[in-house]
Amino acid sequence: MANTTIGFGISLILLGIGGFVATGSTHPTALIPTGFGVLLAILGSLARNPKLRMHTMHAAALLGLIGFVASVGGVLQLVRLLGGEPIARPAAAMARSIMAFDCFLFVALTVRSFVAVRVARRKEALRATGQTSI
């Protein structure tokens, strides 16, 4: 999951830089996804250390959740834009929607990973005690 975290971090970094360049490099708020991406990439790198993995992956999941909550409003703006309604910053709505999707997918994958680890630990504990079912 560490490499997946780094991959999502790189994706958000590219989204932020792309949004900043696409808007004429005049809107520094377009770089917000880059900040989230840098933090995710750092946490993913730290998660390669087995001693730090659990804590850094939980921090990464929390960061992904914060990123989703912060950007999900862009999805609503994008829906309005696609419905033909004019909105103030269409590029921002698109970037926020992409960030919301990326963060949602990342959080879903991390939760799935957490559940898989918990099930594996429980099965290992049962094997160690000689039990056959949960």
Mean pLDDT for the stretch of residues 9-30: 91
Q: Which of 7-11, 119-123, 124-128 is predicted least confidently?
A: 124-128
The residues, ordered by sequence, that sit 6+ positions from 75 with a Cβ below 8 Å of its Cβ are 96, 97, 100, 101
- What is the structure's pLDDT at 9? 96
The model's confidence at residue 132, banded by pLDDT at 50, 70 and 90, is low
- What is the structure's pLDDT at 12? 96
What tokens appear for 34 in the block?
């880059």
Is the pLDDT confidence value at 133 over 70? no
More confident residue, 27 or 33: 33
More confident residue, 81 or 41: 41
Question: Residue 96's CB: how many other CB atoms inside 10 A?
Answer: 24
Residue of 69, 76, 50, 55 lying closest to 107 (CA atoms): 69
Mean pLDDT for the stretch of residues 22-26: 86
The one-letter amino acid at 34: T
Burial class, 20, CB count within 10 angstroms (exposed 0-12 / middle 13-18 / buried 19+): buried
Q: Across the chain, what does the average pLDDT equal?
A: 91
Mean pLDDT for the stretch of residues 66-77: 92
Total residues found in the chain within this entry = 134
- What is the structure's pLDDT at 41? 97
Cα–Cα distances (Å) from 54 to 34, 117, 118, in that order, read 24, 10, 12
Residue 28 per-residue DSSP state: G
